[in-house]
Amino acid sequence: MLLSFSLSATAAEVHQHGLAEAAVVVEGEQVTIRFRAPLMDILGTEQPPADAPARARYGKRLAQVAAPQPSPAAQCEPVSASISSVDTLFPEQQAHDSHDHHDHDAHSHHQDVENEWLFSCAFPEKLNAVELPFLGIFSSLTTEVVLLLPAGQNALRLAPDETRIPLE
């Protein structure tokens, strides 16, 4: 509940290209990692795919926002994931031709990729960092990180190309 509050509280802020958000929550053996970034920074566009090849290109690019890597010593195993996909961002049943052209809110001009991963860790006390390898691919992003750890709360900022979130 606290995780959704921490990132949802920023949802009302201005959509800013080049700025991503991440959160790491450690509760007992459970680790939740959430990542949100402007679609423009991931795909290079916020427009719906024009055809099947574009849809496939979008899918490949979105797949690059792959699962984070908690410290190996913590022996974390993935439990679940909620991942943005082409289908969730651009459902085919909402084709441009089928909407009321006066309802411009039907097409969001600013969309975000929002992914969440849940891990179960055998040794959470050995969790000292989380790697987000995909930040090396999307090197224009600055990432604001919120940490909710057993030792307390913290916030930090990862510069473009930084992929490691220290938890110590």
Domain extent listing, the chain: 2-94+107-166
Residue 78: pLDDT band (50, 70, 90) is very high
User: How many CA atoms lie within 13 Å of 144's alpha carbon, on the beta-carbon side?
Assistant: 11
Rounded to the nearest integer, the mean pLDDT of the chain is 86
What pTM value is reported for the model? 0.83
What pLDDT is attached to residue 17?
Answer: 85
Of the candidates 116, 140, 153, 164, the residue with the CA atom closest to the CA atom of residue 26: 153
Give residue-wise pLDDT tens across range 3-34: 443 444 444 455 688 999 999 999 999 999 99
Q: Which tops the pLDDT comparison, 118 or 138?
A: 118
Give residue-wise pLDDT tens across range 27-47: 999 999 999 999 999 999 989
At 55, list the tokens: 């849809």
100 has a pLDDT exceeding 60: no
Of the candidates 18, 33, 17, the residue with the CA atom closest to the CA atom of residue 114: 33
What pLDDT is attached to residue 74?
Answer: 98
User: How many CA atoms lie within 13 Å of 78's alpha carbon, on the beta-carbon side?
Assistant: 9
What pLDDT is attached to residue 6?
Answer: 45
Q: What is the DSSP string of 86-138?
A: HHHHS-GGG-GGGS-TT-GGGS-SS-EEEEEEEEEES-GGG--EEE-GGGGTS
What pLDDT is attached to residue 118?
Answer: 99
CA distances from 164 to 22, 38, 106, 116, 127 (A): 12, 20, 37, 17, 12
What pLDDT is attached to residue 109?
Answer: 62
| Mean local confidence (pLDDT), 139-152 | 95
Name the one residue in this structure whose structure tokens are 């473009």. 160
